[in-house]
Structure 1
Amino acid sequence: MCSLSYSPPAKEEVCWSEKEDLGLNIIVKEEQNITVKGEEEAFRIKQEEEEAVIEKEEDVTLKEEKEHFAVKEEEEAISMKEEEEDVLGVEEEETEDLINIRERPDSHSDSSKSASGEPDPETPKPVRRLDCSQCNKSFKLSRYLKIHQRTHTREKPFLCSQCGKSFTQLWSLNKHNRIHTGEKPYRCSHCGNNFRSSDKLKEHERTHTGERPYHCSLCGKSFTQLGSLKEHERKHSGEKSFQCSQCGKRFLRSQQLKSHERIHTGEKPYHCTQCEKSFTQLGSLNKHNRIHTGEKPYPCAYCPKRFSGSQDLKSHERTHTGEKPYHCSQCEKSFTQSGSLNKHNRIHTGEKPYPCANCGKRFSRSQDLKSHERTHTGEKPYPCAHCRKRFSQSHDLKLHERTHTGEIPYHCSLCGNDFFHLGSLRKHKKRKHSGDVCTHVPIA
């Protein structure tokens, strides 16, 4: 009887021992998996009563899984932050500190809590700035510093596969590639024109809005483009920063220098599609094309005449107004056109900037050079409308045509004699009227 009454407690002791072992296993497993709570959580669980451990076993397991996933999410968020910031060494140090805090069981000490028992809010660390070694500029991200340093090193790592041109930044290459592809993704909302870049679209839109955001501080004149303002300011300062390497002549604008250099090289990149003529400047080609189309879009405000070029119109209108805005600084002469003044100035300087590519002879005017070059090429571009003869000079053609028309344009006002040539009238005046005032008057 006694042994039968005693056997159940013995069996119960064995079960209790198994339960105790199971509880210890749970605690050991919890110590291994929980990385944030650490030894403090293990110590608290070990002090609880064994019955509470058995009853709360499922709750503890769920809590372990939640904390495990929370730590995982925090690690992934920190990893993404490291990749985005890309700051030299700073992110690695911060990440190591965070990982060490999570892995050390004694990292959550009483010193990290306030008097109320709540943890103190984290104090954000100041962002370390990255300084350029060659100037005083500083940057938050290392990639911005690298891009900036190319302004000092002149490195251009992005190469165009079509033409070989290189760029310091990838977006500049992408913008350049649209020249080859013809892509124009930026559309004007006012007129529908398309543009390769957003800045070109903004410049164009100012033609619709009338906006002129760039102002000259000296005279108050406004401009739609920053480049136009800078060019204008050079007129005040007299600065001509673009110099020709061949003759030393200086220019306000780089485009003016490029156009001028073609005088020396003989390059004529703009070709007419309807005839064989070529031109050094695009504006000259556009003006020439109106010979074929007959277009004359510039009307005179004083008479019914129309002109194919705006400069031709301005020059013509000065015959009505009498204006001569271009003055020679060395003599009292004035001119209606800037080109005429430039030609006149070469009388004072003796400059002859137009060399012949065949014989080296130099000329003060481009027109004189063209006329001379025909002596080498044999070209005769001026045909007579009355016969089959052709001439290398327009002046020779005019003289020849008078033999067909009978025109005698030069008239002596003193004796009434008429002459075909100006030189003939001058000789007549010298021989017959040397003591009288005689002027040559062309017949209208």
Structure 2
Amino acid sequence: MTGTSTRWAGAEQLRSRIAAELARTRARTALLTEAVDEDDLMRQHSPLMSPLVWDLAHVGNQEELWLVRDVGGREPVRHDIDDLYDAFKQPRRDRPTLPLLPPAEARAYLLTVRDKVLDLLDRVAFTERPLVADGFAFGMIVQHEQQHDETMLATHQLRAGPAVLHAPPPPEPRARVDAEVLVPAGEFTMGTDTDAWALDNERPAHRVQLPAYVIDAAPVTNGRYCEFIADGGYDDPRWWSPAGWRHRREAGLSAPAHWRRDADGWACRRFGRWAPVRDDEPVVHVCFHEAQAYAAWCGKRLPTEAEWEKAARWDPATGRSRRYPWGDEDPAAEHANLGQRHLWPAPVGAYPAGASPLGVHQLIGDVWEWTSTAFRGYPGFTAFPYREYSEVFFGDEHRVLRGGSFGTDRAACRGTFRNWDYPIRRQIFSGFRCARDARPEETQS
């Protein structure tokens, strides 16, 4: 086979992959927006979230802006709605008052845009232009829509009314998990230069030197978190930072979001259903301040972002950083709880095939994990393809979360993927694990 035909075959394979990812993602969007009636789609279920119908049209508008207009160079489908669906111009609290496209019109708009995108996909040349090389712009749009799908899933968790989403429970534990894992001192490669669809804040790859540390082998569980509550953790300012204690008092925090006491202890609400809190599942819907207070209470701390990534990617046998804890292959059902396959975190030990070489479990999926690191660019960071994706959020106001949740799709999750949010946020599917400095006797061979 000649070089030309090899490139052609590669391009055709890439086209097929992109088409499949676009279709798979849109099917999830449809599931989340067709599960409720039009009134629910138009309603704002929380001031923290957009009406579902705004998210629906917004993903179509982004697809039009980047693929139809920029990559394709074609005339706008709807130039009159760009401002309505600009996330920076329209704060979430104001979106219900906007003249949004009604559901039927929004769905018709998405269909028109998608038809034009598929026509473009049949013809586009994956040139050296960075936006198009390796199908990056298409991958960016897939990830953008999947991120909004997870946001819409969080909106479903906040909506009142009967359950409309259904999924089987996650698997039961399949392995015993150690309490802690020692990560030896040394350098590792953080970030990536090789993942074609990695976003700007994941780049560039760079070497990071870390001292030895110890990290929890699994996320903190409900059972352990209940011990913190029972010991008066929410009432003792010793465990809280000044900002955290102030927020705890102002917000009246006394337990994770969606928890309530019942006759048998604690129950939690999951997408319209109440269930007993299970001790061996990772705690979810806690903010950074709660995670930090728990870590202080148990004599530990939150891991830095670099510590989290080394535990997730570093292979001591080769010294290289993997794409995922288990290797470089894409996540499969046995590796992690991702993609809304289940509607709550899996118990600890449910995914032994997804463990890292060091024996750290459930780093991918289940719950986004708070780190102690403020969101900033890596050394040599370059905004691409626009500053508003990452750069405008850099600074001390946001903390980095890692690893994805049960609501994160595999397309928007990898060992280098970085999420960020305000430290007070807990409508997201957020949990954490703890770390500590290694003691001298632990590092002696």
TM-score, reference length from structure 2: 0.18
Q: Rg larger in 1 or in 2?
A: 1
The answer to which structure, 1 or 2, has the higher relative contact order (CA under 8 A, 6+ apart) is: 2
TM-score, reference length from structure 1: 0.18
